[in-house]
């Protein structure tokens, strides 16, 4: 009787292992990707501003990691929207005003940390500062990745 139970456990382990192997074959977690993150004033996660005065400058940092399997030329647009502005993986906010443009080349399996200076020229309540990631592949291509920071800017 115990042998049947042991055989059942072994068969269950084999089935689970087979499912995992097939899943990894079709959905390889090692696929190419780019990661982008926003770091705070001290270059670490956290300590993000939520209020600025018009034309006050604050320096934050963009972190970009390239796991595309080749060196990549990235273009990051800093744009300003409002609380109702919604971006997604197919819409990068074409009509939003551009505050800054940042460019960087990142080697394969390398990262870069870029200082970005946010400076809003007019008052905004619940404004969204977007960092929208493109890459260059003969022309600019929207990556579908973006970040946002919500700010109030007063006189």
143 with 106, same domain: the answer is yes
With 0.85 as the threshold, say if the pTM is over it.
Answer: no
pLDDT of residue 140: 94
Backbone phi and psi for residue 3, each to the nearest 5 degrees, phi listed first: -65, -35
Residues 68, 144: one domain?
yes
Judgement on whether residues 43 and 15 belong to the same structural domain of the protein: no
Co-location of 16 and 53 in the same domain: no
Q: Taking the CB of residue 96, how many other CB atoms lie within 10 A of it?
A: 18
The per-residue pLDDT of the chain, averaged, comes to 87
- Structural domain boundaries, residue 14: 1-31
CA distance 18 to 139: 42
The number of folded domains in the chain is 2
- CATH number (domain holding residue 56): 2.60.40.10
Say what the pLDDT of residue 18 is: 53
Distance CA 46, CA 126 (A): 19
Helix (H) or strand (E) holding 73: strand 72-81
Q: Same domain, yes or no, for 21 and 39?
A: no
Rg of the chain over Cα atoms, rounded to whole angstroms, equals 22
Q: What is the pLDDT of residues 124-140, one digit of tens each?
A: 999 999 999 999 999 99
Q: Tell me the C-alpha to C-alpha distance, in Å, between residue 101 and each of 59, 80, 133, 142.
A: 14, 12, 10, 14
Please indicate whether residue 132 or residue 31 has the higher confidence score (pLDDT): 132
- Shared-domain flag, residues 9 and 72: no
The predicted-structure confidence for 55-103, as pLDDT tens digits, reads as follows 999 999 999 999 999 999 999 999 999 999 999 989 999 999 999 999 9
Q: Are residues 104 and 144 in the same domain?
A: yes
């Amino acid at each position: 009787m115990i042998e049947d139970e042991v055989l059942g456990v072994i068969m269950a382990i084999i089935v689970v292992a087979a499912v995992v192997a097939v899943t990894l074959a079709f959905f390889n977690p090692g696929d190419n990707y780019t990661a982008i993150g926003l770091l705070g004033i001290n270059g670490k996660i956290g300590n993000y501003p939520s209020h600025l005065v018009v034309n006050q400058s604050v320096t934050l940092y963009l972190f970009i990691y390239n796991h595309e399997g080749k060196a990549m030329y990235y273009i990051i647009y800093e744009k300003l929207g409002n609380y109702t502005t919604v971006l997604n993986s197919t819409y990068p906010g074409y009509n939003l005003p551009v505050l800054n443009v940042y460019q960087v080349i990142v080697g394969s399996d390398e990262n870069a940390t870029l200082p970005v200076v946010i400076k809003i020229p007019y008052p905004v309540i619940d404004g969204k500062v977007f960092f929208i990631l493109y890459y260059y592949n003969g022309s600019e291509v929207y990556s579908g990745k973006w970040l946002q920071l919500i700010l109030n800017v007063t006189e």
